Structure 1
Amino acid sequence: MVSWVPLLAIALMCWIFSAGQPLRLPIAVWNEDGGSPLARQLVRMLDATPGLRVQAEALNRGEAQALLQRMQVYGVVHIPPGFTHDVKRGASATVTLLHNAQLATASSLVQRDVRQVVGTLSAGVQMQAAAKRGTPAQVLAVRLEPIRTQLVALFNVSTNYEQFLATTLVPALVHILAMTAGAWSVGRELRDRTLGQWLERVGGAGGVLAALLGKLAIPMVLLWGSALAGLVYLSQLRGWAVAGSLPWIACALAALVAVSLAAGAALAGITLSLRKAMSGAGLLSAPAFAFSGVGFPLLAMSGGARTWAEAMPYTHYARLQLQQWQMGAPVAQSLPVVAGLLLATLVLLALASAGLARARRLPQRWGAR
C-alpha cells in the first residue's frame, strides 16, 4: 500500500485523463422535418463538430426517451416539423435539445456545442437572406453581431481536464493513502499488542517521538516519491509545463504527505483503536478533493462547508499547486501555506507522541480492534 500500489493507482489516474478533453460525445437526432435540405445540413454540422457524434436517429418521442434512459446518448436534438418551411418564410423555428443534466460535465459540453452549431446555421441563413436583399457583404457581419464578447482564458487555455484534474487528483490520492498509512502503522501496534515491544527501548516523550518518526519515515519517502513521479510525468512527459516552481510544489507536496501521516498517527494515538483511526482517516481524507475548490467552487460553498474545507490540509495544498503550476504566482505568496502545513505536522506529531506515551501505560487497552 505504500510501494507499488500507489504507483499503479497514479498510473491509472494519469491514463484515465490522458485524453484531455471529452470528444465525440454521442447524441441522437429526432428529425420530424423529413428529408429537407436544411435539416440534413443541421445533422451534418452536428456530426462534424469535434465534441459531438450523431450516434442514432430517433423516429418518435418514445425512442428518444428510451435512448436517454438507457444512457446510450447524452442528448437528443429535436428538429420540429415544418422547420425548413418556417425558416424560408422568415418565421422563427426552434431546435430543442433534450439532455441528461444529471451528468453535468457531459451535459454542459453537449449544450455548448449544440448551441454553437445552431447559432452558426442561424447566422448563415440570415446572411444568405440579407445577401439576397442586396445587403453588401462588408455590412453583414456588423449587422448580425454589432456587439461582440471577447473571452480571454488566462490559465488552462485549452480547458484540458488532464491539466487541472489529473494534476490535482494525484496528490489527493496520495493524501488518502498517507493518512491511512499513518493510522495503520501505529494502530497495528495497538491491535497486535506489540506496542510494548516497539517502545520498550525508548525513553520519555522524546524517545516516543523518535520511534514514531522512524516508523513514518519509510511511507513518507515512498508516498512522496510516488506522487512526485506522477507530477513529473505530467509536467515533463505530457508537456504541461509548470508556470511557477516545480521544486516548490515538491516541497509543498512533502509537507502534505507529512501532515497526512501525522494526522493518521494522531488518530491512532488518541483513540487507541485501529478501527477508529482508520474510520477517522477515511472520514477526513476521502472527501478532501470534493471540498478543495477544484471541482466545486470554494467561494460558492455555504459557510459550514467552507469552514470544513478550510480545515482540510489538502484544500490549501491544492490552491498552492494551482497557483504555482498554472498561474506562475510568486513563491512568497504561498509561503504561509507550507509554513501552516509544517506547523500542523508538528502539532499532530506531538499529539500522536502524547497518545502513544499514554498508551504505553495502559496495556489493558492493547488488542482492541
Structure 2
Amino acid sequence: MSSAMSAVTPPPIPATTRALPAGFLRVLRREIRQIRRRPALVMMLGPYPLILFVLLASIFHAGLPTGLPVAVVDLDGSTLSRQIVQMLDATPELEIAARLPNLTEAKAELVANRVYGIVLIPQHAERDLLAGAHPEIAVFSNSQMMTVGGIVARGAAGALSTFSAGVSVQLYQANGLSAEAALAAVNPIPVQQSALFNPALAYTEFLLAAVMPTVLQIFICATAVMAVGRDAHSRAGMARLVRLGGSPLRALAGKLLPYAAAFLGCLWLADAIIFGYFGAPFRGSLALHLTYSLLYVVTCLGLGTMLALLVEETVAGLGMAGLLASPAFGFAGISFPRDMMNGFAQAWGAILPLTPYLHLRTDQVVRGTPVAQSLPALGWMLALALIYGGIAWLLAGKRARALPPLDAERAEVTA
C-alpha cells in the first residue's frame, strides 16, 4: 500500500500558474503588477504630467501677451498728445489702463503692479514740435519682469516711432516736399526686418514647447528614483531583481520599460497639443524627432536610475534628482545663450538630458536644420544615455552581489 502511494506523482502545475523563467518578461510583468498596486505611482505616469500640460497650455493659449496695462501722464493736454495716446491704445500689445496727472501717482501704480509701464508726455510737446524742436516722450517699463517689460517697451517704441514719422512727413509736405520726397527724408535708408523663425513671436513655439519637456524631465527622473529605489533600498532587493531578470541589464530594462512607454506617450501628447491644437509648424525630420524624443526619455530614466543606485535612501535620490533637474531650463540655453554662461553653468547644462533635447528640438521643429547638422547633438544625448545607463548597470550588479540572492520562486511570491 505504501509503495503504491509513493509511486503516485503530483499532478502537473497548470501552465497558467507556472512562473516565467528568469528574464526580461518576468521583471516586466512583476513591475506592471507593482505599478497597479500603487495609485500614487500611476498618477506620476500620466495624470499629473497631463494636468500640468493642460495648465501650461491654458496659460500660453494666447501665444503672445496683448493688452498689457500702461499708464499715461499727459502734461501737455494738446491735440497732438491726445493723438499719441490714441495710437498707444491702438497698439495690440498695450492698453491704456490709467490717465494720471503726475509721475508720482503713475509710479505708485507701477510699483503696485497695476500697470507694467508709464508713458510721459511733457509740457509744450505740441508747441515745441511745431517750432521745429524735438520734444522728448519718456517710456518707463518694469524690466524686473523682463518679458512683460520688453513687450511694453517694444510696443510703445513702435507706436511712437510710427507717430513721429507721420508727423515728420506732414511737416516736410507743409514745406513743399512731395509725399515721396517727404518719406525719403524721414527714412533715407529703409531697413527691412524679417524674422526667419517664429515670425509671430508666439510664446507657444518659444516657451511652451520648452517648458513641457522640462517639467517631464523632473517627473521621469523622480519616478525612476522611486521605482528603482524600491528594490535598491530594501534588503536584498536588488539581488532579487537581478535574479528575476537573469542579469542586471535585463532586470533594469524590464523594470523601466513601463515607465519609458508611459512618459514617451506623455511627450508625444505634448507635441500633439503644440502642433495640433496650437498649430505650431514642424519644419524638420519627423523620424529624427521621434528618435531623439525616445532617446530623451531613456536618458532621463538612466539618470534617475543612476541616482537611485548611488545613494542609500530613496529620499536622498529624490533630493539629488530635484537638485539637478529643477534648474535645467535656466541652463538649457533657451532663455539665455549658453555661450555667455560661465563654465560651471555650461557644465551643469551639459550633463542634463534636456539641453541636447532642446537643441535638437529647436533645430528640427523651428529651424528645419538638415539632419546631418543635428547629429552632433544627437551623439551628445546618446553619450549621456550610455554613461548613465552604464553606471546604473555597474551599480546594479554591485548591489546584487553585495548580499546573497534570494530564491527566485520566493522572489516571485514576494514581488
Same fold (TM over 0.5): yes
Q: One-letter code of the match for 2:66?
A: L
The 8 Å contact of residues 262 and 348 in structure 1, kept in 2 or not, is answered as: yes
- Number of the residue aligned with 2:97: 55
Match of 2:4 in 1: none
Q: Which amino acid aligns with 1:349?
A: G
RMSD: 2.0
Q: Relative to 1, partners in 2 of residues 1:44 and 1:259: Cα closer, same or farther, differing over 3 Å? A: same
Instruction: Find the aligned partners of 2:127 and 2:161 in 1 and give their Cα distance.
Output: 18
Counterpart of 1:234? 274
> What's the offset of the Cα at 1:362?
4.9
Alpha-carbon distance between aligned partners in 1 of 2:173 and 2:343, rounded to the nearest angstrom? 56
The alignment status of 1:2 with 2:39, answered yes or no, reads no
The aligned runs of 1:65-80 (5 Å cut-off) are: 65-80=107-122
Asked if residue 120 in structure 1 is aligned to residue 162 in structure 2, the reply is yes
Q: 1:238/1:194 Cα in 2 relative to 1: closer, same or farther (>3 Å)?
A: farther
> Where does residue 224 of structure 1 map in the other structure?
264
Give the aligned partner of residue 323 of structure 2.
Answer: 283
Please report how far the alpha carbon of residue 198 of structure 1 lies from its aligned counterpart in structure 2 after TM superposition. 4.2
Which of 147, 150, 158 pairs up with 1:108? 150
1:299 Cα deviation from its structure 2 partner:
2.1
CA separation in 2, counterparts of 1:132 and 1:117?
A: 23
Which residue in the other structure is 1:246 paired with? 286
Q: Contact 1:171/1:253 (CA < 8 Å) preserved in 2? A: no
TM-superposed CA distance for 1:337, in Å, is 2.9
Matched, 1:161 2:203: yes
Which residue of structure 1 lines up, in the alignment, with residue 13 of structure 2? Answer: none
CA distance in 1, matches of 2:150, 2:305: 42
The amino acid that maps onto 1:115 is: A
Which deviates the most, 348-357 or 259-268? 348-357
Q: How far has the Cα of 1:191 moved from its partner?
A: 4.4
Give the match for residue 367 of structure 1. Answer: none
Distance 1:336 1:92 in 2: 54
Match of 1:152 among 172, 194, 205: 194
How far apart, in 1, do the equivalents of 2:183 and 2:266 lie? 54
- Per-residue deviation, residues 160-197 of structure 1 (Å, max 9, x unmatched): 11012211222222111111111111123344547158
Matched, 1:19 2:54: no
Q: Secondary structure at the match of 2:45?
A: coil
Contact kept, 8 Å, 1:269 with 1:351, in 2: the verdict is no
Please tell me whether residue 324 in structure 1 is matched to residue 364 in structure 2: yes
The answer to whether the 8 Å contact 2:214/2:329 transfers is yes
275-284 or 297-306: which moved more? 297-306
The C-alpha deviation readout for 1:272-291, integer Å capped at 9, x for no partner, is: 22122111111221111111
Structure 2 residue identity aligned to 1:138: E
Shift of 1:241: 2.2
Instruction: Determine what percentage of the aligned residue pairs are the same residue.
Output: 34
Gaps of 5+ in 2: 1-43, 404-415
Question: Match of 2:251?
Answer: 211
Q: CA deviation at 1:95?
A: 0.7
2:72 to 29, 54, 78: 29
Q: Does 1:185 align with 2:230?
A: no
Confirm or deny: 8 A CA contact 2:242 2:251 kept in the other structure. Answer: no
Q: Is the 8 A contact 1:23 1:52 kept in 2?
A: yes
Partner of 1:366: none
**Deviation (angstroms), 1:255:** 0.5
Aligned to 1:255: 295
Structure 1 pair 63/221, CA: closer, same or farther in 2 (3 Å)? same
Between the aligned partners of 1:312 and 1:201, the Cα distance in structure 2 is 31
Task: Write the deviation string for residues 45-74 of structure 1: whole angstroms up to 9, x where unpaired.
Answer: 110111100001122232111101100010
SS at match of 2:119: strand
When normalised by structure 2's length, the TM-score is 0.82
Q: What SS class does the counterpart of residue 201 from structure 1 fall into?
A: helix
- SS of alignment partner, residue 241 of structure 1: coil
Look up the SS of the partner of 1:290 in the other structure. Answer: helix
Please state how far the C-alpha of 1:107 moved relative to its aligned partner. 0.9
Q: Which secondary structure state, in structure 2, belongs to the residue aligned with residue 225 of structure 1?
A: helix
- In structure 2, which of residues 87, 93, 97 is the aligned counterpart of residue 45 of structure 1? 87
Q: Is residue 2:385 matched to residue 1:342?
A: no
Tell me the amino acid that sits aligned with residue 116 of structure 1. Answer: G
Answer whether contact 1:68 1:75 (CA < 8 A) is retained: yes
Q: Give 2:209's aligned amino acid.
A: T
Per-residue CA distance 1:311-357 (angstroms, 9 max, x = gap)? 32211111111111111112222233334423432332232232233
- What's the TM-score once normalised by structure 1's chain length? 0.92
Tell me, in whole angstroms, the C-alpha distance in 2 between the residues paired with 1:200 and 1:20: 49
Distance 1:19 1:136 in 2: 42
Q: Deviations over 1:134-158 (max 9, x none)?
A: 1122211111111122222111111
Deviation at 1:309, TM superposition (A): 2.0
Q: Measured at CA, do residues 170 and 247 of structure 1 come closer, stay the same or move farther in structure 2, by a change above 3 Å?
A: farther
Instruction: Please say which of residues 84-93 and 350-359 is displaced more in the overlay.
Output: 350-359
Q: Is the 8 A contact 2:242 2:248 kept in 1?
A: no
Which structure 1 residue ranges, 5 or more long, are not aligned? 364-369
Paired residues in the alignment total 361
Structure ID, larger Rg: 2
- In structure 1, the residue matched to 2:396 is 356
The answer for the alignment partner of 2:350 in structure 1 is 310
One-letter code of the match for 1:10?
F
